[in-house]
Chains A and B, each alone.
Chain A
Amino acid sequence: MHFNTLTSPHLAPTSSVAGVMRQVIYALVPGTVAMIWYFGWGVLINLVIGVTVALVTEAIMLYLRKRPIALFLSDFSAVVTAWLLVLALPPLAPWWLITIGVAFSLVIAKHLYGGLGYNPFNPAMAGYVVLLISFPVEMTTWLAPRMLAETQLGFLETLTAVFTGQLPAGISWDAITAATPLDSMRTQLGLNQTIDEIRTSPLWGDFGGKGWEWIGNWFLLGGLWLLYKRVINWRIPVSMLTALFIIASVLYLSDPDTHPLPAFHIFSGGAILGAFFIATDPVSASTTPFGRIIYGASIGLLVFIIRTWGGYPDGVAFAVLLMNMAVPAIDHFTKPRSFGHKSYGD
């Protein structure tokens, strides 16, 4: 009897790129739902716009690059990129802002570098930084979480705002927007207020900004599930959050008046989302065991430095992109010792 031959191993592989990406999307769901809950329909509308633009852009790029469209569209990597970028945008971001961001992420940061697996920079963060630098006003017009907002926009009102930039009559932008906790912390510290004074403001919850502090928990939940499912490795998130926590603790203990609680740093802005979903993007992160510790810890450190002494309230995107650049060097110098060798260079 005649048989076809293929090379070993013959057992079917247990995972797939599409499977990995799908699990990342599942893990994003709790945090996303929390954001919709606190910030309204805008988050969901942005997400639909972002994912649609991503799929269309991806298909066009695959067509232009003569790659199998169905195979690569169904790997969901474009969806993950768009999803992560959208979560970092203000909930009432205009549609064109999302479109530019997603298109930049996929066309410039991903496909022009060679597509899936070849991008040296995290595409979502590259898109985010482009938007942040190019459209600072739109990018910093955040909504107040539901418990602080004077009024909440309905679905159609939100849709109108996203596509036309018009708010319903009688509602001003001031009534629905508010500075993010990191932004307000930065501004208040700049006005020489102490942490205790800042925390008397109604914006503040138990350890971070009201509403904001709980969103991080939901992303944490998804992140822990990814760890449990072994989709991501513990080294990057743990080292990043640990480094952030340690340096925040040191400065908080040295001067509690001008440095917020370490927990504030962890549960504000993009720290949790960044640690579990962005810094762990396998393509642009370090791959060696020790390299991942260095990579994660450096991001944590950079986030703190940028937040505390830099020009922007949050620094996750910048920190991730900076460390993306360092990945080839980190990987080169952190090769593990192979079996039967004395050291990795041996």
Chain B
Amino acid sequence: MELHPHKLWHFHGGLHLPAHKELSTQLPLLPAPLPAPLPARIVLPLQQHIGEPTQVLVKPGDQVLKGQLIAEAKDYVCAPIHASTSGTVIEVSEQRVPHPSGQRAPCIVIEPDGDDRWTDELPAALPDYHELDGATIRQRARACGIVGLGGAAFPTAVKLNPQHPIDTLILNGAECEPYISCDDTLMRTHAHDILEGLRIIRQATLANTCIIAVEADMPDALISLRNALGGDEVDGIRITSVPTIYPTGGERQLIKVLTGHEVPSDGLPLDIGVLCHNVGTAQAVYQAVAQGKPMLSRIVTVTGGGVKQPRNLEVLLGTPMAELIAACGGYTDSVERLIMGGPMMGFALESDEVPVIKSTNCILAAAKNEIAKPAPAMPCIRCGECARVCPARLLPQELYWHSMARDLDKTQDYNLFDCIECGCCAYVCPSNIPLVQYYRFAKTEVWAQERDKQASDIARRRHEFRLERLERIKQERAEKHARKKAALKQNKDASGDTGKAAIQAALERVRAKKAATQVQAKNIDNLTEAQRRKIEAVEKRRQEKQQTK
């Protein structure tokens, strides 16, 4: 794949949204841990990533140290959890977690002792990563529990094990959703770590070209990276400014903008030789490999008109969000909704008593005037604005129509599963239709249908197999019967009166057996004279007695 230097492409649709990033970038980054004292409880969900859940290694009452492994990854697509501070495990139970469903999930609850003492069993720092092979880097990323920090939280180690050769490695710094500025902050403050992380990932994946994509409205991040790299394009690493169009930060959209290639709908970026990581993930990889530090904290943007002092903070994983809000001066009177993530794709939280997890990039405490008021949806007037802005180039109005009608086959004809749920369509919809909601509904219906179909397929196969087996047994029995019959018939033909012969043979056998059992008593050999006489006398008496009878 030829990369045309500095040329950028466009993807279809997208939106120019008011950025509101300045809200949270006025104050400097507040480094971890939060201002003392540490939170009263650290809540670490067993699953903070996409994939299989982790297995708990601790029980209530256990003392844990900072960085200690407390839940291990048994499955391939999994990331272990480490204690983010030292203290006592007080509970391993279901707790509120940040999830769209609002459901509870298994968590390890730690009561910090306030010492923030590190474990001495940390993996060794490997500053000379240039000599490492891919497997070592992958294992380190896995052991340190690193997941993609762009929001999806996919275990990074899996992505560091590409099945195809990688041509282009992209670091995604295009933080395209409004309000969020954690990646911007990271790039401004930790450019060196990001670049080192990029070099480590490149070492692991043997990528040719590296591109760091930064949005055009983050000039400070660009300068910081440029200074750390020593230019715009050094040593096969290029820093590129991409236009501020939502959703440029979407993986597939960014790849299109940077390379002009579209990731096949049913494929992965890997299929076209591209690998994409978030800038935060690169920093985490650097810390894991070069410093031997597991993933214990991340930068979180706390922003919106609903919080008094919006800013970015480095936060220990497991810290309740209420503590972050408190550290930012508390809520304003106009706070209306609490959102994890951005205002376009984030989900609303019921409560601030949920922990910061690996994928918490932003906590948006939105004021009344910043968000949509609940309003009735009007009928679709087919204006087609949604199709104009759709970055996947779908026809959202048709998808809506068929989702509403529950015509799931039709929704798939209109490529429902190419929808990235960016929310552009709903944002421009004059009828105020919650379009994304309809697509999520249709997707889950399709999944449910597929599960049902799979289950019924299995049941059907099992039933068919049973019928087949019963039929086979019946047949075998019939065959056996027929064979026996045939054999009997043959015997009869050969020996004439088989019945009599058999009786005769049986009698013979009985007789022979009887003869065999008429044995001599063996204790009459080698007798003394006296004994023999005595026996003879007894024998004589018996015979006399018989005769008298």
- A residues in contact (CB < 8 Å) with B: 1-17, 19-20, 68, 71, 75, 77, 115-118, 233, 282-283, 285, 287-289, 292, 331, 335-341, 346
**CB < 8 Å neighbour of B391 from A4, A116, A336, A339:** A339
CB distance from A252 to the nearest CB of B (A): 34
Contacts of B266 in A (CB 8 A): 340
Give bound CA distance, A19 to B437, whole Å.
24
The 6 closest A-B pairs by CB, nearest first: A9-B423, A117-B379, A340-B265, A5-B348, A282-B383, A12-B372
Give bound CA distance, A13 to B426, whole Å.
7
10 A-B pairs (CB sep. < 8 Å) = A1-B352, A3-B337, A6-B337, A7-B434, A10-B372, A12-B372, A17-B431, A336-B395, A339-B392, A340-B252
Interface of B is mostly: loop
Could you tell me if A287 and B378 are in contact, using CB atoms closer than 8 angstroms? no
Could you tell me if A1 and B265 are in contact, using CB atoms closer than 8 angstroms? no
CB distance from A119 to the nearest CB of B (A): 10
Contacts of B384 in A (CB 8 A): 233, 282, 287-288, 292
Among A4, A10, A20, A283, which residue has the most Cβ atoms of chain B within 10 A?
A: A10
**CB < 8 Å neighbour of B345 from A9, A19, A71, A285:** A9
Could you tell me if A10 and B366 are in contact, using CB atoms closer than 8 angstroms? yes
Given known contacts A3-B338, A116-B381, A282-B382, A341 and B265 CB-to-CB distance under 8 angstroms: yes
Could you tell me if B430 and A15 are in contact, using CB atoms closer than 8 angstroms? yes
Contacts of B267 in A (CB 8 A): 340
From 246 to 291 in chain B, residues with beta carbon under 8 angstroms from any chain A beta carbon are 252, 256, 262-267
CB distance from B9 to the nearest CB of A (A): 12
Given known contacts A3-B338, A7-B437, A17-B378, A288 and B395 CB-to-CB distance under 8 angstroms: yes
Contacts of B373 in A (CB 8 A): 12
Interface residues on B, range: 35 or more
CB distance from A65 to the nearest CB of B (A): 12
CB distance from B308 to the nearest CB of A (A): 14
From 330 to 357 in chain B, residues with beta carbon under 8 angstroms from any chain A beta carbon are 331, 336-339, 341, 343-352
Could you tell me if A339 and B338 are in contact, using CB atoms closer than 8 angstroms? no
Could you tell me if B436 and A7 are in contact, using CB atoms closer than 8 angstroms? yes
Check if B429 is an interface residue, CB within 8 A of chain A: yes
Contacts of B378 in A (CB 8 A): 16-17, 71, 75, 116-117
Could you tell me if B372 and A8 are in contact, using CB atoms closer than 8 angstroms? no
Give bound CA distance, A339 to B432, whole Å.
25
Given known contacts A1-B331, A9-B345, A289 and B418 CB-to-CB distance under 8 angstroms: no
Could you tell me if B393 and A233 are in contact, using CB atoms closer than 8 angstroms? no
Check if B172 is an interface residue, CB within 8 A of chain A: no
Could you tell me if B430 and A19 are in contact, using CB atoms closer than 8 angstroms? yes
From 375 to 416 in chain B, residues with beta carbon under 8 angstroms from any chain A beta carbon are 376, 378-385, 387-388, 391-395, 397-398, 414-415
Among B265, B370, B384, B387, which residue has the most Cβ atoms of chain A within 10 A?
A: B384
Chain B residue at smallest Cβ distance from A116: B379
CB distance from B307 to the nearest CB of A (A): 12
Give bound CA distance, A335 to B378, whole Å.
25
Given known contacts A10-B371, A339-B391, A15 and B428 CB-to-CB distance under 8 angstroms: yes
* 0 or 1 for each of B200-244: is its CB under 8 Å from A? (1 = yes): 000000000000000000000000000000000000000000000
Check if B114 is an interface residue, CB within 8 A of chain A: no
Contacts of A77 in B (CB 8 A): 381
Contacts of B380 in A (CB 8 A): 117
Contacts of B379 in A (CB 8 A): 115-118
Check if B178 is an interface residue, CB within 8 A of chain A: yes
Among A6, A14, A75, which residue has the most Cβ atoms of chain B within 10 A?
A: A6
**CB < 8 Å neighbour of A5 from B12, B17, B102, B262:** B102
